[in-house]
Amino acid sequence: MSVRKLKPITPGQRFRVVNGFDSITTDKPEKSLLAPLKKSGGRNSQGKMTIRHRGGGHKRRYRVIDFKRDKQGVVSTVKSIQYDPNRTAFIALLEYVDGEKRYVIAQNGLEVGQTVSSGETAAPEIGNALPLKSIPLGTIISCIELRPGQGAVMARSAGTFAQLMAKEGKFVTVKLPSGETRLILSECLATIGAVSNSDHQLLVSGKAGRSRWLGRRPRTRPVAMNPVDHPMGGGEGRASGGHPRSKNGIPAKGFRTRSKTKSTNRYILERRKK
């Protein structure tokens, strides 16, 4: 993992920091695992804009990722580490002994030629997916299920990881990337190791145009709007805008939006840090 700082040949490159892509081994995706990806541009089925600041961007094709790791007990080999335009993490192409190919989220340290497997009998080594009950305490994990068979939903973005803290009965205690500590069923699968591309947070786009390539349209500051357009708009002169809040009036900066009556609250042992 490394980043490169470009020479300021143009104004857009003056502060640009790019990924070194050291661990990427090929730029050609597996055709059998590609799917079309349709863009909505933030519009709903009636053609009305329901999400602002979306649209444009480079055309992409979706890489079908195996989040369930349900081909258990079958050994696979890492054929390549690839870039995925739809996510911050890198992905790994696995080829099983029966010839089937699948994409999975790549972990830090996963290399071409390495053997990877999933299931209770798998060793707790980087890239292997095991039930939480089979993973040793203190292990760094990622791509965690919340319900058995659901597929990985937590700790999937670049550089993220969780830690297995304790086991008790049919539950295990996991400290999540947000700082939250919660109980998860011990039958749920998790992958050993932290997610790849940990240098993603160091990247600097360098110019506004790169945001457009990613499908992000310009955003107007709420304090520059009129009162009819936003709760923070209006006022004489350069008004501060009052308490920070969204266009719908929901307060930002510390306001808790999670329901107090949510049934899964009992599984959260410690809330995430502010």
Q: In the chain, where are the structural domains located?
A: 3-200
3-class SS letters over the chain: CCEEECCCCCHHHCCCEEECCCCCCCCCCCHHHEEECCCCCCECCCCCECCCCECCCCCCEEECECCCCCCCCCCEEEEEEECCCCCCCCEEEEEECCCCEEEEECECCCCCCCEECECCCCCCCCCCEEEHHHCCCCCEEECECCCCCCCCCECCCCCCCEEEEEEECCEEEEECCCCCEEEEECCCEEEECCECCHHHHHCECCCHHHHHHCCECCCCCHHHCCCCCCCCCCCCCCCCCCCCECCCCCECCCCCCCCCCCHHHHHEEECCCC
Indicate the average pLDDT of the chain. Answer: 95
pLDDT band of 272, cuts 50, 70, 90: confident
Task: With CA atoms as reference, report the closest residue to 23 among 7, 53, 3, 49.
Answer: 3
Checking if the pLDDT of 95 tops 70, the result is yes
Checking if the pLDDT of 251 tops 70, the result is yes
The domain covering 3-200 belongs, at the CATH homologous superfamily level, to Nucleic acid-binding proteins (2.40.50.140)
Span 151-176, average pLDDT: 97
Checking if the pLDDT of 273 tops 90, the result is no
Checking if the pLDDT of 1 tops 70, the result is no
Each residue of 144-156: pLDDT tens digit?
A: 999 999 999 999 9
pLDDT band of 14, cuts 50, 70, 90: very high
Checking if the pLDDT of 102 tops 70, the result is yes
Checking if the pLDDT of 237 tops 70, the result is yes
